[in-house]
Amino acid sequence: MGPGCLFRSIVIFLIASMLLLFSCSRLNIFDSDAKLIEEAGSLTWLTENFPPYNYGQTGSLNGVAVEVLETMFDQMEVNLSQADISLTDWTNAYKAVQDNEGTVLFSMVRSPDRENMFKWVGPIAPHKEVIIAPAGTGIKIVTDADLTHYHFGVVNGYSSYNLLRDRGVDPGKIIEYPGSTELYQAMIDGEVQCISYSEQANLLIPVGLGYLPEDFLPVYTINVDQLYYAFNQSVSNSLINLFQEKLDLIKNDKEADGSSTHEKILQKYSVILSGNDSITNDMVTTLVDQTVADFVLDASGTITKMNEQQAPYRDSENTALYCFAYDTDLTIVAHAANVNIIGLNFKGKPDVTGKLFRDEILAGALEEGSGWVDYIYTKPDQSGLYLKTTYFTLTTGSDGKQYIVCAGRYK
């Protein structure tokens, strides 16, 4: 064999070896994906009646968490549907997810005392825990100290018990009930004066008992937190990561109409909250003014830093304070909180309530130069829809192009 033939043989051998390694690698990837899908398909899914997040109605399951989960099933191409979700009472489900491998319960508040008991995917939606009293009783609670004067009902196993206890309520004044129906009935029958429960659920539960929502009034907010899918510790971290990845995509990927699937589901069930994030109007206008000055000096560099979520364009301590910028065609050129929407055009695309707030920003910028617009939007690192107000200013960057620089606060 001549030198040329030997060289060609070596090259062919190396190429064949690389192809074999690549093929094995691809097989391993496919095999790994298949194992995760198989593991997902073998999970036992449990939920309870906790509207508007998860509940049974007219023979089907409904709610934010149910629809988000079905969307994740579709994205993962897992052969599961709501028919594979069991609707049961919270007490039994809470014990089952602790004791039984491959079990998942939703929706659950991720509280410090539960942190290491489960593996978590979320957040799914915000949850506002309030004290509820029958209308006309005159019960008034202004501070945590006032809680100590009353007897409360809670659902057995809910975080409500610890929330009340941590605020000074004597455990002897807290009675636990197996579910929401028993909880409300106890208040109706006078067994307890108040209950600690979800503000959103209070809009729906009374109707099923033959009452109106206004018959039971929220009189005090004791906590605002987030709801999650809680997995038994036996579930692999790889599968947890895959579910989290799919949930994040559902939240962050804006569709052709400008809203994400997650936003539409929240809007469908009217999960809209007010948010006190300690951000003032002055903080917002200061951030916009600083960013405008940076665009004038170095537009390209400022855009890069914004998209890298550098300070000051996204506050490192309060991540709800961030800035973003459109061009005058309403294409996002920079966003310090969601890189997934950079380059997308939002002209004619409303928030989930139908308000064309971006078009209002453009019109206000071109006509007035700056101003404020109110709308509904999501919050970074949290779930849910919130009332938001945004300040905007039209500027010309160092590259000669016009930009609309914005920042906002939740209210």
**pLDDT exceeds cutoff 90 at 206:** no
The answer to whether the CB of 389 falls within 8 A of the CB of 411 is yes
The mean pLDDT value for 291-303 works out to 98
- Give the type of residue at 341: I
Alpha carbon distance 289, 179 (integer Å): 52
CATH for 41-122+227-271 (3.20.20.70, 3.40.190.10, 3.40.50.12780, 3.40.640.10): 3.40.190.10
Q: What are phi and psi of 278, to 5 degrees?
A: 65, 20
The mean pLDDT value for 132-146 works out to 95
Residue 37 parent element (H or E): helix 3-41
pLDDT of amino acid 27:
39
pLDDT of amino acid 349:
85
Of 184, 192, 203, 197, nearest to 223 by C-alpha is 197
Q: Over the stretch 153-173, which tens digit does the pLDDT of each residue have?
A: 999 989 999 999 999 999 999
Alpha carbon distance 249, 260 (integer Å): 9
Angle at alpha carbon of residue 161, lines to 160 and 163, rounded to 5°: 60
Q: Measuring CA to CA, how many Å separate 337 from each of 145, 147, 218?
A: 39, 39, 34
Enter the pTM of the model.
0.63
DSSP class of residue 308 equals T
Alpha carbon distance 222, 207 (integer Å): 24
The answer to whether the CB of 177 falls within 8 A of the CB of 90 is no
pLDDT of amino acid 52:
85
Alpha carbon distance 139, 128 (integer Å): 19
Q: Over the stretch 70-90, which tens digit does the pLDDT of each residue have?
A: 999 999 988 888 889 999 989
Q: Measuring CA to CA, how many Å separate 279 from each of 122, 218, 225, 322, 392?
A: 25, 26, 19, 11, 16
Q: Does domain 127-226 have CATH number 3.40.190.10?
A: yes
**pLDDT exceeds cutoff 50 at 25:** no
Q: Do domains 41-122+227-271 and 127-226 have the same CATH topology?
A: yes
The answer to whether the CB of 388 falls within 8 A of the CB of 409 is yes
**pLDDT exceeds cutoff 50 at 229:** yes
The token pair at 308 is 């890298």
pLDDT of amino acid 62:
85
pLDDT of amino acid 276:
66
Q: What are phi and psi of 211, to 5 degrees?
A: -115, 175
**pLDDT exceeds cutoff 70 at 285:** yes
Residue 60 parent element (H or E): strand 60-62
The mean pLDDT value for 217-242 works out to 95
281-410 homologous superfamily: PAS domain (3.30.450.20)
Domain ranges in the chain are: 1-37, 41-122+227-271, 127-226, 281-410
